[in-house]
Amino acid sequence: MSDLDDARAALAEHARRLVADRLVAGTAGNLSVRVGDLVAVTASGVAYDTMTPEDVVVVDLAGTPVVGTLRPTSELPLHLLCYRRHGASAVVHTHSAAAVALSLLRDDVPLVHYQTAIFGGAVSVAEYAPYGTDELAATTSAALADRTAAVMRHHGTIVLGATLRAAYDGAAHLEWLCDVWLRAAAVGTPRVLTTDQVADVVERFRGYGRRDHASPDGRDE
């Protein structure tokens, strides 16, 4: 099986997870993975809970179809911009409820938990623009500056990752952060971390899991 086949299979699997994890409703949201100079991306209008690898479309970086007969997602311009401008290897776009609700109230995701650091710091809310447009791609790209995630006002979230799993896990984390703030704000004024506190965790995460000073038997020294 080729890398492209693997990518199409992984996208179909994660598309089904989107529904099971309630990160989308119906055929909303989309995912993609870059494989060299090609991008495997979910098709428009295909039910995610029954998606198969054959339903995944492959395009080049200009958006020209290469594999598949279905039409790519209408958000293809946004996905391609994430690859060209932000160096993404995978992109996950959700329509998750807590993130959309927060986008109606805030210009950013409050620093309610140190896990915000996985995105490089505070996550911004991009101004509304119609779906599938160059305007949406531009406003979302601006919100992604120096970050790997953004919330799109009246729309959903977008998360970039070095792998599809990383991008997907990031989308789930971002939805959780939005939900935590909404729950706390419903009963009072939430206490949040400072930008310096989150910046400290960003630095800590850079070496997370590394064993540069491990002993021969695998124990950290």
Buried-state track 161-189, b at ≥16 Cβ within 10 A, e below 16: beebebbbebbbbbbbbbbbbbeeeeeee
Edge-first strand listing for the sheet containing 30-35: 65-67, 57-60, 38-41, 30-35, 90-94, 156-161, 149-152, 123-126, 108-109
> Positive or negative CA dihedral for 152, 93, 36, 205?
positive
Cβ atoms of 63 and 76 within 8 Å: the answer is yes
Instruction: Name the one residue in this structure whose structure tokens are 């870059």.
Output: 34
Measure the CA–CA gap between 128 and 70, rounded to whole angstroms. 28
pLDDT of residue 218: 34
DSSP class of residue 114 equals G
Buried-state track 109-145, b at ≥16 Cβ within 10 A, e below 16: bbbbbebbbbbbbbbbbbbebeeeeeebbbbbbebbe
| Active-site residue identified among 13, 54, 75, 221 | 75
Cβ atoms of 129 and 135 within 8 Å: the answer is yes
Query: CB atoms < 10 A from the CB of 216, how many?
Result: 5
54 is catalytic: no
pLDDT of residue 188: 96
Per-residue pLDDT of the chain (221 residues; tens, 9 = 90+): 589 999 999 999 999 999 889 998 776 889 999 999 999 999 988 888 889 999 999 999 999 999 888 899 999 999 999 999 999 999 999 999 999 999 999 999 999 999 999 999 999 999 999 998 999 999 999 999 999 999 999 999 999 999 999 999 999 999 999 999 999 999 999 999 999 999 999 888 886 654 443 333 333 33
pLDDT of residue 69: 85
Cβ atoms of 92 and 109 within 8 Å: the answer is no
Evaluate whether the domain defined by 3-206 bears CATH number 3.30.360.10.
no
pLDDT of residue 1: 56
Single-letter amino acid code for the residue at 116: T
Measure the CA–CA gap between 111 and 220, rounded to whole angstroms. 31
pLDDT of residue 26: 72
